[in-house]
Amino acid sequence: MPCYVRSESVVSRVIAGQTLIIPVRKGVGDLTSIYSLNPVASAIWQAIQQPRRKEEIVVAIEKEFAGDRQQIEHDVDMFFDEMHSAGLINPVEAHALGVPA
């Protein structure tokens, strides 16, 4: 089962309570591709400062936000798909990190 972690080629900041992500391309921030995250996406982003499994993130989101578990799992999957497609996160196999299965 993969873990997910932020890409090393992004910079993120929380400004006025809003998380902003800026991809860095060739050493320069790509200001045409700034991502602004809603509160749930911000919580997921905070959770993947270090490699985390999807299940760990779903549990963390369940604790912080009200919602149906299936919907939370769907939202986490959507976040991973979108952020991975944009090159903002990377899946990493847990065994490669020495994380127990």
Per-domain residue ranges of the chain: 2-7+38-97
Q: Which two tokens stand for residue 11?
A: 């910079």
- Phi/psi for 51 (5° steps) reads -55, 130
Residues of the chain with pLDDT under 50: none
Predicted local distance difference test score (pLDDT) of residue 42:
95
For 2-18, the pLDDT digits (tens) are 899 999 989 999 998 89
* DSSP letter assigned to residue 88: S
Predicted local distance difference test score (pLDDT) of residue 2:
83
- Phi/psi for 100 (5° steps) reads -65, 145
Q: Please give the model's pTM, rounded to 2 decimal places.
A: 0.83
Sign of the CA dihedral 5, 82, 68, 61? positive
Predicted local distance difference test score (pLDDT) of residue 66:
86
Predicted local distance difference test score (pLDDT) of residue 57:
96
Distances (CA, A) of 85 to 14, 70, 89, 97, 100: 22, 22, 8, 22, 27
Predicted local distance difference test score (pLDDT) of residue 69:
94
